[in-house]
Amino acid sequence: MRLVLILFFKVCVLSNVFSQKIISGVVSDDFGEKLVGINIFLTDDSSLGTTSGVDGEFSLIVSQDFPISITLSGVGFEKKILSISSENELFFEVKLSESVLFGDEVVVRSE
């Protein structure tokens, strides 16, 4: 009985480890400059995510089944949502466009 439980436990652990997918890629702007600090997270679960590094590269380990949807966002850039439908689409070269925020006029007075 103990052997059966040990084998069952090993099968459960190994199936969970092998079902993980690594989504990776490089984030750059419209001019090809690599972007640092861009947030990359699951669209369905924003608690699971990462940020792009100094070279614009990111890597995200996911155990969710396909299709997977990830969101890329950063200050001063348009948000982009990517859909992943198969294991052939696990590396991305993403270009984010700048976004301009227009605000109301600010008047500062001093006496």
pLDDT, position 31: 93
How do residues 43-95 score in pLDDT, each as one tens digit?
A: 988 889 999 999 999 999 998 888 889 999 999 999 999 998 888 778 889 99
pLDDT, position 87: 80
Averaged confidence pLDDT in the chain: 84
Indicate the pLDDT class of residue 15, thresholds 50, 70 and 90.
Answer: very low
Burial 52-82 (b: 16+ CB within 10 A, else e): beeebebebebeeeeebebbbebeebeebeb
Q: Would you say residue 8 has pLDDT above 80?
A: no
